[in-house]
Amino acid sequence: MKAFVIAEHSEAAKQLCAGARIMADEVAVAVVGVNAVPEGIADAAYHVDVPAGAILDDAAKTLEPVIAGFDAVIIEPTKRMKSVAGKLAAAAGASVIADALSIEGDVATSMYFGGVGHAQRKATGTAFYTVSPNVFVNEQATGSNGAAEELAWVAPENAVREVSSEPVPKSGIDLTASDAVVAAGRGFAEKEDLQLARDLADKIGAGLGCSRPLAEGVDWMPAETYIGVSGLILSPKVYIAAGISGQIQHMVGANRAGTVFAINKDENAPIFKQCDYGLVGDLKKVLPALTAAL
């Protein structure tokens, strides 16, 4: 069994290689874009530099010949790499099994309807999976690869042409690497109140994340910090959800945490059925008291 990992970020490449090693005797990896391929994580390593004016989504044509002969292709689920996954699968006459949570042999368990249900699917032909790197957080990547081989860019026939670009401001927060995460939800009525969550996070050395409405509804938090099926799937040791109702689309990003704490003023909030410790109360009172007590 041979598995090929495609990622945009170095750490994701490492974790996905660790997962690929469980199922495959031979593991190869390619990182697309500006990030480097870590050494010692696979048996062969490649890097795809994206030329000026081209976009990461078009890297599929460059990767097509390199993945030939591999049984499974495991892809980091960033927006760009999902697009690469679709193009590679279409070229191979296969389809992508998205958001896989586990892979046993050639059967993958994945989420559907935003995490409401789980489905088991068997790949036909080459198996293409998008998998959150955190799924393999407890595995160790091994391999003898040294510096990655640089692949020459192959432009697709109908390449996307970049007309203009604007840098998206990045927060610099990497929640995937945080042992503790404080997550804020719509229970925060004012943007200024987020300082209460920030104070708690600072006190315990946690990263600050949020539910989707705070990042995409009101734009109070950076888009890369929202947690859930369409955002980050995390597995910190501690997860503190404040003012979050506990909808499944959010919780699939949180329920891999070691211990989940919930603070909500509604004792019937669904999150109380999914947490280890729940506190019924107004976050405006609870958070400052907690920060002061810790």
Residues that bind ligand FAD (CB under 6 A): 114, 185-187, 211-213, 226-231, 243-245, 247, 249-250, 253, 263-266, 269, 282-284
Whether the CB-CB separation of 208 and 150 falls below 8 Å is answered with no
Q: What letter does residue 216 receive in the DSSP assignment?
A: I
Q: Which is nearer to ligand FAD, 39 or 266 (CB)?
A: 266
CB of 282 to ligand FAD, least distance (A): 4
Provide the minimum distance between the beta carbon of 137 and ligand FAD in the complex, in angstroms, as a whole number.
19
Give the nearest distance from C-beta 76 to ligand FAD in angstroms: 17
Shortest spacing between CB 194 and ligand FAD, in angstroms: 12
> Considering the complex, what minimum distance in angstroms separates the CB of residue 16 from ligand FAD?
20
Ranked by CB distance to ligand FAD, the top (closest) residue is: 228
Contacts 24+ apart (CB under 8 A), 119-125: 121/97, 123/72, 123/94, 123/97, 124/94, 125/92, 125/93, 125/94
Q: Which is nearer to ligand FAD, 31 or 283 (CB)?
A: 283
Neighbouring residues of 282: CB distance < 8 A, sequence distance ≥ 6: 265
At its nearest, how many Å lie between ligand FAD and the CB of residue 288?
A: 12
Query: Which CB sits closer to ligand FAD, 153 or 220?
Result: 220
Residue whose CB is less far from ligand FAD, 266 or 276:
266
Between residues 3 and 197, which has the closer beta carbon with respect to ligand FAD? 197
The torsion angle over the Cα atoms of residues 264, 184, 75 and 57, rounded to 10 degrees, is 140
Separation in Å, CA 26 to CA 2, 29, 140, 143, 264: 5, 10, 15, 9, 48
Which residue type sits at 43?
Answer: D
Distance CA(197)–CA(291), nearest Å, equals: 9
Q: Which is nearer to ligand FAD, 38 or 243 (CB)?
A: 243
Smallest CA-to-CA distance from 82 within 116, 32, 121 is with: 32
